Amino acid sequence: MHTKNKDWFFFFVASLVGLIFLRSSYGKFMGGKFVSGLGGTLKHFASENPHIWVKTMLTDVMIPHSVVLGYMTMWGEFISSICILVPVGYYLAKRKLTKIMSLVLGVGLLGGAFLNWTFWFASGWTSASTDSLNLLMALIQTVGLVFVIKQYRSAK
């Protein structure tokens, strides 16, 4: 699947998103306190969350299962970063994407978008920086997913 010369910007932005996720997951793995502290963080997110359906999901599902959710989040960030960075590296080396690399990139962007949208709904109300950063990353990943789907569908 040959990409256009102007697509370098997408791959540059995708690499930044992948690196952000890799850094974030590394911090969670090495810090050692993310999983054990997630329950308290989720209680704070639920305390004044303006979205009643999110507050209900946090209190009824996420907080009781915060340990499992913590591991899923760490691994989800790590796997998403790898699924973004490997196809971007392949593109930089070959100046094209195969269908399988497009599929891997799509999985990474979908996973990352899911994580960012979830975090935005849960904690976007807590500060302007949390609101804007997670919303920006979620939108970038969602638009990137549309880009990858179009590339995948147009490939022969």
Domain extents for the chain? 5-154
| First-last CA distance in the chain | 7
Positions in the chain short of pLDDT 70: 1-6, 155-156
Q: Quick: pLDDT tens for 91-126.
A: 989 888 888 999 999 999 999 999 999 999 998 888
- State residue 64 phi and psi, 5-degree precision: -65, -25
Residue 142 · residue 113 · CB < 8 Å: yes
